[in-house]
């Protein structure tokens, strides 16, 4: 499944039109092997976009019935930043119970998980997954993929924002010096513990810099982040870097422990 | 109990909210002499309180503030990136790292309070698959964190002695939990029940807890 998620991220990265988000939601759903994926965003001025795999009849019905006013998912995720399992929401009122029955009849599924995203300047978006299965299977799925899904939700939103503004895609946020150092050592083949030693920080701290760099680069894992950083010319690796004049802290030890 | 409350939920806990902001004034303005804003109600508040952060609040008895801290994800606007980016060599950006600021302990609060708050921070990391918490704190807090058994890793410090302010990281380390539970003086089950009460979901998968 992770291979397919990586493939999804590559396709997301190369998307250059907003309408491609629709196909990407389908691709993500298939990669996750669940019933539905929906991406929904509300801009500061109230403009809304939605892309997803729900039955169009349900999307229409949702609008016609103005369900957004009572939908516990929207109400429970707006202004939040932690991922929300639909079971934790309040489904007790009569109107909400009817809404839920209607949604299940339209194939939404009995389980759901939504990730709120706080974009820049008050923009708000939700990445929602839904499925039909037992509570235990859903919980297992959530805890296995929650971290990847949070990352994916933020990349998807960043991409949608870029495309909506008609900016050139793939503008990468600059990496900080520490992030460049961390990725450079990994790119040179050092292990995390060696890289941490070279930088005089703990492995846990190194991980925070890698995590931040990974996010800025739009990568799902470290290998992808390193590849992207090299591709973008953000880091320089290989013999040239290792032999370069000037050195870096711990360079001599680094030469001694280099794995290549 | 420990409550996990977003800012827009605080109005339902008016006494707790007032106590938190007054105790923050006592700690950050009066004791630490930080340049913070205290309004005419005696509340210490800043712009990050307006971003609907998540608060973790220890409520020893109903309506009483025993200690608290404030969380915002590093994917949005944060105090660390706005004011302390020099200490982290540039902005840290990730939805899997949350900043933890305004770590406050009420005057005369018992020695357990720091442990209880650290425990709650660990539950947030575990429940939402975070990799780290990133904190801003004064020099004195470092020894308190160490005593609790959850030492942060310092990324950088500004100022010296009493006036020093540091930025530090808490990685998610499952092993910290038992130590912190002991210092906090509560059971794992109670901590999980507090979490479930606020979030309506469990901290972790049952099987995963046994495996851990």
Q: Closest chain B residue to A157 measured between Cα atoms?
A: B75
Q: Taking the CA atoms of A192, B71, A156 and A4 in sequence, report the sign of the dihedral they define.
A: positive
The residue assigned the tokens 């870029």 is A162
CATH 1.10.10.10 residue ranges for chain A: 177-254
pLDDT tens column, B137-176: 988 888 889 988 888 999 999 998 878 999 999 999 888 8
Q: Are B95 and A215 in contact (CB < 8 Å)?
A: yes
Report the pLDDT value the prediction gives residue A240, as an integer from 0 to 100.
43
- In this complex, is the C-beta atom of B159 within 8 Å of any C-beta atom belonging to chain A? no
Check if the beta carbon of residue A163 is closer than 8 Å to that of residue A18. Answer: yes
- In this complex, is the C-beta atom of B120 within 8 Å of any C-beta atom belonging to chain A? no
Tokens of B205: 């998968």
pLDDT tens column, B90-112: 899 999 999 999 999 999 888 89
Cα separation, B5 vs B56, in Å, equals 6
Q: Which residues does chain A have within 8 Å of residue B74's beta carbon, measured at their own beta carbons?
A: 212
Cα separation, B36 vs B85, in Å, equals 19
- Does the pLDDT value for residue A234 go beyond 90? no
Residue A67 DSSP code: G
B135: left (phi over 0), alpha (psi -120 to 50) or beta: beta
Strand partners, B202: none
Residue A161's closest CA among A29, A12, A8?
A12
pLDDT tens column, B185-195: 999 999 999 99
Q: Calculate what percentage of chain B has a pLDDT beyond 90.
A: 75
The three-point CA angle A8-A33-B124 to 5° equals 80
Residue B143's closest CA among B114, B102, B106?
B114
- Domains for chain B: give ranges and CATH numbers: 2-207 (3.40.630.30)
Q: What is the mean pLDDT of chain A?
A: 85
- In this complex, is the C-beta atom of B205 within 8 Å of any C-beta atom belonging to chain A? yes
Of B89, B96, B169, the CB nearest to A204: B169
* Radius of gyration (C-alpha) of chain B in whole angstroms: 16
Report the pLDDT value the prediction gives residue B114, as an integer from 0 to 100.
94
- In this complex, is the C-beta atom of B75 within 8 Å of any C-beta atom belonging to chain A? yes
ipTM: 0.91
Check if the beta carbon of residue A156 is closer than 8 Å to that of residue A12. Answer: yes
Q: Are A208 and B171 in contact (CB < 8 Å)?
A: yes
Query: Does the domain made of A2-164 have the CATH classification 3.30.450.80?
Result: yes
Strand partners, A36: A130
Check if the beta carbon of residue B205 is closer than 8 Å to that of residue B10. Answer: no
CATH 3.30.450.80 residue ranges for chain A: 2-164
The residue assigned the tokens 């946020």 is A173
Cα separation, B98 vs B79, in Å, equals 11
Cα separation, A22 vs A40, in Å, equals 11
pLDDT tens column, A181-209: 999 999 888 999 999 999 998 998 999 99
Q: How close A60 comes to chain B (CA, Å)? A: 30
- Measuring CA to CA, how many Å separate B13 from each of A16, A199, B20, B195? 47, 46, 11, 17
A81: left (phi over 0), alpha (psi -120 to 50) or beta: alpha
* Helices assigned H by DSSP within chain A: 2-14, 20-32, 56-64, 72-77, 94-105, 135-164, 177-187, 192-199, 203-217, 222-231, 239-243, 251-257
Q: In whole angstroms, what separates CA A16 from the centre of its chain?
A: 18
Task: pLDDT band for B207, please (50, 70, 90 cuts).
Answer: very low
Check if the beta carbon of residue B161 is closer than 8 Å to that of residue B195. Answer: no
Report the pLDDT value the prediction gives residue B88, as an integer from 0 to 100.
87
- In this complex, is the C-beta atom of B61 within 8 Å of any C-beta atom belonging to chain A? no
Task: pLDDT band for B212, please (50, 70, 90 cuts).
Answer: very low
Average pLDDT over residues A81-104: 95
Tokens of B189: 């089950």
Residue B75's closest CA among B95, B54, B57?
B95
Query: Does the domain made of A177-254 have the CATH classification 3.30.70.20?
Result: no
Q: What is the mean pLDDT of chain B?
A: 92
């Amino acid at each position: 499944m992770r291979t397919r998620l990586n493939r999804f991220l590559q396709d997301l990265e190369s998307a250059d039109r907003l309408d491609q988000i629709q196909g990407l939601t389908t691709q993500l759903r298939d990669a996750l092997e669940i019933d539905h994926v929906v991406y929904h965003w509300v801009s500061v001025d109230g403009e809304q976009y939605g892309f997803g795999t729900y039955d169009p009849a349900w999307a229409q019905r949702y609008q016609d019935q103005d369900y957004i006013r009572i939908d516990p998912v929207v109400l429970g995720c707006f202004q939040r930043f932690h991922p929300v399992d639909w079971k934790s929401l309040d489904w007790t009122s009569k109107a909400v119970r009817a809404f839920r029955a209607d949604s299940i009849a339209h194939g939404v599924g009995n389980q759901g998980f939504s990730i709120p995203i706080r974009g820049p300047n008050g923009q708000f978006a939700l990445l929602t997954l839904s499925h039909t299965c037992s509570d235990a299977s859903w919980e297992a799925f959530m805890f296995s993929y929650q971290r990847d899904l949070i990352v994916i939700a933020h990349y998807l939103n960043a991409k949608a924002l870029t495309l909506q503004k008609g900016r050139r895609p793939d503008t990468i946020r600059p990496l900080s010096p520490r992030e460049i150092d961390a990725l450079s050592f990994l790119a040179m083949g050092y292990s995390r513990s060696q890289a941490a030693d070279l930088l005089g920080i703990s492995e846990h701290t190194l991980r925070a810099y890698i995590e931040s760099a990974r996010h800025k680069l739009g990568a799902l894992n470290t290998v992808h982040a390193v590849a992207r950083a090299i591709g973008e010319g953000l880091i320089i690796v290989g013999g040239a870097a290792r032999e370069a004049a000037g050195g870096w802290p711990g360079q001599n030890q680094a030469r001694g422990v280099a794995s290549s | 109990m420990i409550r996990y409350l977003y800012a827009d939920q605080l109005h339902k806990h008016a006494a707790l909210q007032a106590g938190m902001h007054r105790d923050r004034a006592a700690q950050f303005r009066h004791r630490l002499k930080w340049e913070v804003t205290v309004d005419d109600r005696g509340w210490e508040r800043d712009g990050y309180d307006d971003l609907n952060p998540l608060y973790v609040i220890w409520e020893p008895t109903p309506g009483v503030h025993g200690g608290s801290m404030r969380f915002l994800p590093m994917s949005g606007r944060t105090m660390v990136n706005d004011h302390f980016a020099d200490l982290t060599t540039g902005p840290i950006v990730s939805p899997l790292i949350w900043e933890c600021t305004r770590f406050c302990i009420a005057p005369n609060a018992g020695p357990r309070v720091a442990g209880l708050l650290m425990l709650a921070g660990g539950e947030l990391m575990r429940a939402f698959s975070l990799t780290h918490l990133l904190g801003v704190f004064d020099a004195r807090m470092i020894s308190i964190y160490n005593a609790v058994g959850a030492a942060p890793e310092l990324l950088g410090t500004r100022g010296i002695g009493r006036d020093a302010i540091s930025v530090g990281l808490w990685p998610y380390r499952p092993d910290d939990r038992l130590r912190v539970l002991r210092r906090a003086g509560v059971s794992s089950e109670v901590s999980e029940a507090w979490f479930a009460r606020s979030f309506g979901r469990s901290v972790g998968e049952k099987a995963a807890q046994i495996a851990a």
